[in-house]
C-alpha cells in the first residue's frame, strides 16, 4: 500500500513536469493579451467559457493564415510519407527476397548514412536545389525524404524476410512476376509496418525546421514550423496568439498519437531510428 503511494507520487510529479508546458500552452491560448502579461500569472484564462472563447483560434487560423500553413504541412508531410512508404517497401522487398550482387554493401551504406548529421549534406543539397530551380517550392521538402529512408527499409526488410517461403512459392506457381508478387502478396501483408512508417515519416516531416528555413520564403508556402518561428520574431508581443499557433501546430500530431498510439510507440521502439 505504502509502496503504491510512493509510486503514484513519483508518477504524478513527473507527469506534471512532462505535461505542464502543454497545459500552459493550452491555458494561455484562451487568454486575452492583457491577461497573459498579468502578474501573478493566472491559471484561469479570462476567455474560458466566454462567448469569445475561441477568438484567438479564429484570429490565428484566419487572420494569421494558420489554416493555410497547416494545410501546407499536411501536403508536405503527407507526400513525403507516401514517398517513404513507396521507396522503402520496394527496397525492403528487394533486400529481403532477392539475391543480387552488392546487396550487402548497399544495405550497410544505407544504414551507415543514417548517422550522418543533416548539416553535412545540406550545403551541397541546397546548391543542388538552387540549380534545379526548386527554391521556394515544396519539392526540396518532399523529395529528399521521399527517396531515402533507412529506418523504413530496415523495417520492411525484417518483416519481408520472415514471410514464409510457401507464400512465395505459391505465388510463383500462380505465375506471378516480381511486381505482382510484391503488389498482390507481400505489400498487403505489411499493413502494420506501412502504417507505422507512414506515421513516423509524417511526424518527422511535419516537425522539420531546417529545410523550410532554407528553402521556403513565400508566405503562402510556409509550413507550420517555419510559420511559428516567423510569427515568433514578428509578433512576439502577442504571446496569446503565438501559443495558440503552437497548440494548433501540435494538435494534428497529438490526435494521431492518441488514436494510433500503438503504431507510433512500436514503430519508434522497433528500430529506434528516425529519418
Partner 1 sequence: MKKLSWYRPWHPWVFLLPTLIGLFVFRLGPMIFALFMSFTDWNIMSRPHWVGLSNYKELFTDSAFFEILKNTLVFSMIYVSGALVIGLLLAVLVNTKVKGVRFFRAAYFTPVVTSAVAVGIVWGWILSPKYGVLNYFLEHLLHINSPSWLGDQKWALLTVAFVQTWKMVGYYMIIFLAGLQSIPKQLYEAARIDGASKSQAFWKITLPLLSPTTFFVFTIAIIDSFRNFEIIYTMTQGGPQYASTTLVYAVYLNAFVFYRMGYASAMAYVLLTIVGLLTLLNFVLKKYWVKNVY
Partner 2 sequence: MKKLLFVLLSALLVTLLIGKTVTIKYWMWDPTIKDKVEKAIEKFESLHPNIKVELTTMEPKNYWPKLRTMAFTKKLPDVFNMSSGYLEEWVKNGFLMDLTSYVENDLDKDKFFFNLFEAGKKLSGTDKYYAIPFALVVTNLYFNKDAFDEAGIPYPNENWTWFDFLNAAIKLTKDKDGDGKIDQWGFWLYGRYANIEPWIYANGGRLINRNTMRFDPNKQAIDTLKFLTSLTTKYHVSPRPKDMKGIKAKNVFPMGIAAMWVDGSWNIENIRRIADGKFRWGIAPVPQGPCGTEKVVFGWPDFIVISARTKHPKEAWEFAKFMAGEGLTIDMYMAGKIPSYKPLTMSKDFDEEGKQPPEKGKVLRELASRKLMNSFTMGWGEWRGYGPAESMGLNGLIDAVLNGDMSFDEMLQKAYENINKVLERYYK
Chain positions contacting partner 2, by CB under 8 A: 126-127, 130-131, 135-136, 217-218, 233, 236-237
The CA angle 56-61-64, to the nearest 5 degrees, is 90
90 burial level (CB within 10 Å; 0-12, 13-18, 19+): middle
Q: Smallest gap, in angstroms, from Cβ of residue 197 to partner 2?
A: 32
Residue 70 within binding range of partner 1, rule CB under 8 A: no
Q: Smallest gap, in angstroms, from Cβ of residue 208 to partner 2?
A: 17
Of 18-47, which residues contact partner 1 (CB under 8 A)? 18-22, 24-25, 28, 36-37, 39-41
Contacts with partner 1 by CB under 8 A: the residue count is: 96
Single residue of 59, 75, 82, 90 touching partner 1 by CB under 8 A = 90
How many Å apart are CA 47 and CA 266, to the nearest integer?
A: 39
How many Å apart are CA 254 and CA 257, to the nearest integer?
A: 5
Residue 158 within binding range of partner 1, rule CB under 8 A: no
For 244-267, give the secondary structure using H, E and C. Answer: HHHHHHHHHHHHHHHHCHHHHHHH
Instruction: Please identify which residue in the block is written with the cell numbers 508518477.
Output: 11
Single residue of 61, 214, 216, 221 touching partner 1 by CB under 8 A = 214
* Cβ proximity to partner 2, 165 vs 218, nearer residue: 218
Q: Which does 217 bind (CB under 5 to 8 A by kind): partner 2, partner 1, none?
A: partner 2
Q: Smallest gap, in angstroms, from Cβ of residue 136 to partner 2?
A: 6
How many Å apart are CA 242 and CA 229, to the nearest integer?
A: 9
Single residue of 34, 49, 100, 218 touching partner 1 by CB under 8 A = 100
How many Å apart are CA 108 and CA 106, to the nearest integer?
A: 6
Residue 143 neighbours by CB under 8 Å, 6+ apart: 83
Residue 75 within binding range of partner 1, rule CB under 8 A: no
How many Å apart are CA 250 and CA 244, to the nearest integer?
A: 10
Q: Which does 218 bind (CB under 5 to 8 A by kind): partner 2, partner 1, none?
A: partner 2
Residue 177 within binding range of partner 1, rule CB under 8 A: yes
Which of the ranges 60-68, 156-164, 187-195, 262-270 carries the binding residues for partner 1, by CB under 8 A? 262-270
Amino acid at each position: 500500500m505504502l509502496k503504491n503511494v510512493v509510486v503514484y507520487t513519483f508518477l504524478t510529479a513527473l507527469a506534471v513536469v512532462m505535461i505542464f508546458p502543454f497545459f500552459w500552452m493550452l491555458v494561455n491560448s484562451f487568454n486575452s493579451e492583457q491577461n497573459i502579461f498579468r502578474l501573478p500569472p493566472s491559471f484561469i484564462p479570462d476567455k474560458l467559457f466566454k462567448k469569445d472563447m475561441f477568438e484567438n483560434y479564429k484570429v490565428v487560423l484566419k487572420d494569421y493564415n494558420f489554416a493555410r500553413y497547416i494545410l501546407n504541412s499536411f501536403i508536405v508531410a503527407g507526400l513525403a510519407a507516401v514517398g517513404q512508404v513507396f521507396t522503402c517497401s520496394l527496397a525492403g522487398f528487394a533486400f529481403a527476397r532477392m539475391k543480387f550482387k552488392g546487396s550487402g554493401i548497399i544495405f550497410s551504406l544505407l544504414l551507415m548514412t543514417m548517422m550522418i548529421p543533416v548539416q553535412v549534406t545540406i550545403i551541397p543539397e541546397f546548391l543542388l536545389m538552387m540549380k534545379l530551380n526548386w527554391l521556394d517550392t515544396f519539392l526540396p521538402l518532399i523529395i529528399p525524404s521521399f527517396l531515402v529512408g533507412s529506418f523504413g527499409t530496415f523495417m520492411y526488410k525484417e518483416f519481408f524476410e520472415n514471410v514464409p517461403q510457401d507464400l512465395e512459392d505459391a505465388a510463383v506457381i500462380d505465375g506471378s512476376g516480381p511486381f505482382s508478387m510484391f503488389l498482390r502478396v507481400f505489400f498487403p501483408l505489411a499493413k502494420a509496418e506501412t502504417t507505422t512508417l507512414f506515421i513516423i515519416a509524417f511526424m518527422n516531416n511535419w516537425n522539420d525546421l531546417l529545410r523550410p528555413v532554407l528553402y521556403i520564403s513565400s508566405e503562402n508556402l510556409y509550413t507550420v514550423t517555419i510559420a511559428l518561428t516567423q510569427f515568433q520574431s514578428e509578433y512576439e508581443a502577442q504571446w496569446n496568439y503565438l501559443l495558440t499557433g503552437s497548440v494548433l501546430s501540435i494538435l494534428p500530431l497529438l490526435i494521431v498519437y492518441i488514436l494510433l498510439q500503438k503504431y507510433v510507440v512500436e514503430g519508434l521502439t522497433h528500430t529506434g531510428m528516425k529519418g
